Every structure is written in structure tokens, then in C-alpha cells.
């Protein structure tokens, strides 16, 4: 305020008008190049994702060369129709049952009937006497509960038991669409050159047919040893059970820990140490969590995880509960860190406003902070579930069953999961399994999409209500 500072002439240090024009062009060019590089990065990412998706879809559909034990036309003819006029799928339920009766052994027929009856009012393979006896036993089969098979179910049964297609060669979607005759020629050549490989089959028996490896039947059928009938309903249910257990464990524990760390913990050495460790745990390989799960949940907590103290009769701790808890611990760091970030993003002015009104810390957090943090917390949960549902390594360690055909029914069931199923199918030599693995991958992606959309809808509804 006392004396004015002398302002020196600095203009010599700035570029002249001409120099400035050149510099500006250079700067503009550099900005354009940078923008191009950034766009390139995006393109690389998008191309990688599309390639992945196309590879999976390419293997999920396509032509197959198959040999039928009995041709569908023969079945139609045996039912007394002209195969040229009536399609196999148009046969009535009664006609299909007749076909089945003449084509399968009495033992197989009885087993099928015990799974589900053919008619509500009469028995086909069983005698009434034996049926009553079986249904009166301590563990009556599913068929005793009532309900009968419909025409589409019988069509599948006849396909599986009578037609019994055996796939001898497969083509990808691209091969099938672009050059189907090349595939047919290749099969023909292969038959001519290596007849031994095909056993008793001759090329005349080969039928070409479209097959959607990824189909509703595939999604709803249980696992099977034959690729023609194998499905993934067991694995989907297993994955869903795992997700439920994982969420039930990781969300309350993770969000609780995040609230404590953000709102209540004082910044001291112990809490800093815990925070650093949580951040590091997010990067620990999942197989380590599998080892932890095996040692703790499967072995040490066996009485709990096998359900034996609750009266369940699981043989060991390799259950849905163990695996779900393992995945829960695995996703915990992700849930904690993202919930912490969401809570931290809530403006401090709201906390001050709440506390300034005489609210306790918890009242403020509960009513003012958490509702605003919730969409962010849900984003973290989505990420965690996406990670959990795709995990394979820890599940192998905690003992996901390789091959089970019974769906998990509760936390103490044995289970398998989609990634496990995919992993096992890719390890098998026949090419049919490769297509099934691709179809199962597609199912995994769809499942993930459904779960995530659910969470996103929930999140959007909640954040709209907040405004």
C-alpha cells in the first residue's frame, strides 16, 4: 500500500505474432494427434470385446453332421403317415408313446415313468401294484408327485432315446454360413480316408442339420455325459446360489466395514494399516482365496458348512455355503473400496448440517449419507458380483463338483458352477464339447447381463427417488 511496484517490460519473452501463429498450429496438431490416439485406444478395446463375443457366438451355433440310429422319417412312417406330408414334430403324444414303447427296454421305460408319468390316469411301463409300492416307500421318486409329460417333452425323449443322434462332425457358424459344402466335402473326405474313426457308420447315414448349441433346451437340461443331451441347468442354479451367498456375506460386511472406516475410524496407525491391507487384498490372486476357503470354510468350519450341526446330511464341507463364503471374502475388498469411495463422495456439508441439528453421527450417516452413497455402493456390488460369478480357480480348490446332475437345493448342497462347467468341457477332446463350452460362455454372459441390469435398474430407481 505504501509504494507502487515497478512493473518491468516482459513482452520480449513472449512470441511475436508470427511465431505465435506457428506455435498455435503446432499445438492444434498435437491436440489432434492425441485425440486420435485416445480414440484408437477405445477402438482397440471395442474390437477386442467384439472379437470375444463373435468367437463365442461363432462356436455356439452351426451345422453338424450326425448319424441317427433311427431316422425321424422312419418313425413317422411307422406311425402310419407319409413322411413327405407329416413332420416328425407333428406326431401326437399317444403316437410318440407308442414309438417309445416299441423302442426302449422296459427297465428304461419304468425309470422314465418314475421321473414323470406319461398319463395322469394310467401307467405305461409300470404295473399298478409295483407303482403303489414304490410310491409308498420312504423316498418316493419324483413321478409319484403327479403331473404328466406333454408332447414336447415326449418329442425330446424320442429324440434322445430312439433317434439317438450321434454327432460325428461340427462346423462353426461362419463355416456353415459361408461355405457349407466345403464342410460337407471335408466330412466326406474324412469318411473316405479314415473309415475306422467312424466305427460302423458309413457316409450314407450322415445327415446334415442346423444345431443351436445355445438353446432353451441346453439352458434347462441338467449335465449329461453325452454332448447331444448335455445342458447347464445345474451349473446355472449353482452359480445363482453362489451369488446369493456371496451377496449375503459380502454386502453387509463390506458396507459395514466401509461405513466404519469412512465415518467412525480415527486416522491412526492401526486404521491406516487396515486400509492399506484392504487395498492390497483387492489384488491378491483368487487362487489364494481358494486356499483360504479350503483351509477355513471347507475344513475348519466343516460342521457348519456341511450343515451337520443343523441336521443337514451333506457328506463334507464342499458345499454352496463354503464356496459362497470364499467368493464373499474374495469380493470383500472390492465392495469395501467402492463403498468407501461412494461414502467419501457425499459432500461434507451434509454431515455438518446433520450433526449441527443435534443428530448423532450414526443418525446423520443413516439418514443423510447412506441414501446418497447407495447408488455408488450398488455399483461396487455389481462389480463384485460380476467378478464372483466368473471366478473359477477358488471354486476348483474348495471342491466344486465336476459332474453332478442334481440341482443344488440349498446352502448345504453339492454344486457346480458355470465357469467350472466351461473349464471342464474345454478340457475334453471331442469337438462337440468345445461348442457346448462356447454356448455355456454365452449363457454366463447373458446371466451376468441379467443380474447387472437388475442392479442397474435398482440403482437408477433409488437415485431418482433421491432427487
Partner 1 sequence: MTNETPERAGVDTAWRNESHTDLEADFPSPDEIPHHQATRDEEAEAPGVLETVNMDVFYGDFKAVADVSLNFATNRISALIGPSGCGKSTVLRSLNRMNDLIPTAHTAGEVRYHGANIYAPGVDPVEIRRHIGMVFQKPNPFPKSIFDNIAWGAKINGFKGSKADMNDLVEDTLRHAALWDEVKDKLKDSGLSLSGGQQQRLCIARAIATQPDVILMDEPCSALDPIATLRIEELMIQLKEEYSIIIVTHNMQQAARVSDKTAFFNVALDTKGQRTGHLVEFTPTDELFTTPREKATEDYITGRFG
460 lines the binding site for partner 1 (CB under 8 A): no
- Read off the C-alpha cell for 338: 467402492
36 touches partner 1 by CB under 8 A: no
Cell of 359: 443428530
| Contact call for residue 311 and partner 1 (CB under 8 A) | no
The region that residue 403 occupies, defined by phi over 0 for left and psi between -120 and 50 for alpha, beta otherwise, is beta
Nearer to partner 1, 189 or 367 (CB): 367
Site for partner 1 in 198-227 (CB under 8 A): none
Q: How far is the CB of 402 from partner 1 (least distance, A)?
A: 52
Site size with partner 1, rule: CB under 8 A: 22
Per CB under 8 A, 54 contacts partner 1: no
* C-alpha span between 377 and 334 (Å, rounded): 10
Distance of closest approach, residue 381 Cβ to partner 1, in angstroms: 22
Applying CB under 8 A, the span of 77-85, 156-164, 366-374, 410-418 interacting with partner 1 comes to 366-374
Only segment of 11-19, 314-322, 359-367, 402-410 that touches partner 1 (CB under 8 A): 359-367
Nearer to partner 1, 253 or 359 (CB): 359
315: helix, strand or coil: coil
Rule CB under 8 A: is residue 355 a binding residue for partner 1? yes
Among 3, 18, 136, 266, binds partner 1 (CB under 8 A): 266
16 phi and psi angles, rounded to 5 deg: -75, 170
Q: Is 156 in the site for partner 1 (CB under 8 A)?
A: no
For residue 266, the minimal CB distance to partner 1 (Å) is 6
- Contact status, residue 271 vs residue 454, Cβ threshold 8 Å: no
Q: Is 360 in the site for partner 1 (CB under 8 A)?
A: yes
- How far is Cα 308 from Cα 315, in angstroms, rounded to an integer? 9
Examine residue 464 and tell whether it contacts partner 1 (CB under 8 A).
no
Q: Examine residue 344 and tell whether it contacts partner 1 (CB under 8 A).
A: no
Q: Which of 373, 364, 370 is nearest to 345 (CA)?
A: 373
Is 182 a residue that touches partner 1 (CB under 8 A)?
Answer: no
Q: What is the SS3 string spanning 73-120?
A: HHHHHHCCCCCCCCCHHHCCHHHHHHHHHHHCCHHHHHHHHHHCECCC
In whole angstroms, what is the distance from residue 12 CA to residue 17 CA?
A: 12
Contacts of 416 (CB under 8 A, 6+ apart): 223, 234, 235, 238, 400, 401, 402, 403, 404
Positions that interact with partner 1 (CB under 8 A):
1, 266-267, 347, 349-360, 363, 367-368, 372, 466-467
Amino acid at each position: 500500500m505504501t509504494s507502487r511496484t515497478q512493473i518491468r517490460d516482459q513482452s520480449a519473452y513472449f512470441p511475436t505474432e508470427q511465431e505465435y501463429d506457428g506455435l498455435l498450429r503446432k499445438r492444434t496438431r498435437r491436440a489432434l494427434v492425441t485425440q486420435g490416439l485416445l480414440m484408437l485406444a477405445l477402438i482397440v478395446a471395442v474390437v477386442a470385446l467384439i472379437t470375444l463375443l463373435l468367437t463365442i457366438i461363432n462356436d455356439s451355433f452351426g451345422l453338424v453332421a450326425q448319424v441317427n440310429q433311427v431316422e425321424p422319417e422312419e418313425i413317422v412312417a411307422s406311425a402310419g403317415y407319409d413322411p413327405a406330408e407329416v413332420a416328425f414334430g407333428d406326431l401326437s403324444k399317444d403316437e410318440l408313446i407308442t414309438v417309445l414303447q416299441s423302442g426302449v427296454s422296459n427297465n428304461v421305460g419304468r425309470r422314465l415313468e418314475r421321473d414323470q408319468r406319461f398319463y395322469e390316469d394310467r401307467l405305461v411301463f409300470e404295473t399298478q401294484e409295483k407303482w403303489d409300492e414304490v410310491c409308498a416307500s420312504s423316498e418316493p421318486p419324483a413321478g409319484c408327485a403327479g403331473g404328466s409329460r406333454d408332447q414336447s417333452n415326449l418329442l425330446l425323449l424320442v429324440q434322445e432315446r430312439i433317434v439317438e443322434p450321434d454327432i460325428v462332425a461340427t462346423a462353426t457358424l461362419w463355416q456353415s454360413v459361408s461355405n457349407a459344402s466345403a464342410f460337407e466335402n471335408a466330412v466326406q473326405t474324412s469318411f473316405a480316408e479314415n473309415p475306422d474313426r467312424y466305427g460302423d457308420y458309413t457316409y450314407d447315414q450322415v445327415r446334415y442339420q442346423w444345431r443351436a448349441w445355445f438353446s432353451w433346451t441346453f439352458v434347462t437340461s441338467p449335465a449329461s455325459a453325452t454332448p447331444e443331451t448335455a445342458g447347464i441347468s445345474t451349473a446355472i442354479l449353482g452359480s445363482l446360489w453362489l451369488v446369493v451367498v456371496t451377496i449375503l456375506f459380502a454386502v453387509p460386511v463390506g458396507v459395514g466395514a466401509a461405513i466404519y472406516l469412512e465415518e467412525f475410524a480415527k486416522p491412526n496407525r492401526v486404521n491406516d494399516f487396515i486400509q492399506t491391507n484392504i487395498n492390497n487384498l483387492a489384488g491378491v490372486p483368487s487362487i489364494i482365496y481358494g486356499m483360504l476357503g479350503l483351509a477355513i470354510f471347507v475344513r475348519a468350519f466343516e460342521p457348519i458348512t456341511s450343515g451337520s450341526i443343523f441336521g443337514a446330511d451333506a457328506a463334507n464341507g464342499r458345499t454352496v455355503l463354503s464356496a459362497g463364503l470364499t467368493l464373499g471374502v474374495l469380493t470383500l475388498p472390492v465392495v469395501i473400496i467402492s463403498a468407501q469411495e461412494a461414502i467419501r463422495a457425499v459432500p461434507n456439508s451434509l454431515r455438518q448440517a446433520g450433526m449441527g441439528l443435534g443428530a448423532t453421527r450414526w443418525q446423520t450417516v443413516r439418514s443423510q449419507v447412506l441414501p446418497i452413497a447407495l447408488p455408488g455402493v450398488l455399483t461396487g456390488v455389481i462389480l463384485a458380483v460380476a467378478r464372483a460369478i466368473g471366478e473359477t480357480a477358488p471354486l476348483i480348490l474348495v471342491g466344486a463338483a465336476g459332474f453332478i446332475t442334481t440341482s443344488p437345493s440349498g446352502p448345504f448342497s453339492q454344486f457346480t458352477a458355470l465357469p467350472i462347467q466351461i473349464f471342464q468341457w474345454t478340457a475334453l477332446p471331442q469337438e462337440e464339447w468345445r461348442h457346448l463350452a462356447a454356448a455355456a460362455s454365452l449363457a454366463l454372459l447373458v446371466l451376468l447381463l441379467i443380474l447387472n441390469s437388475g442392479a442397474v435398474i435398482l440403482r437408477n430407481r433409488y437415485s431418482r427417488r433421491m432427487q
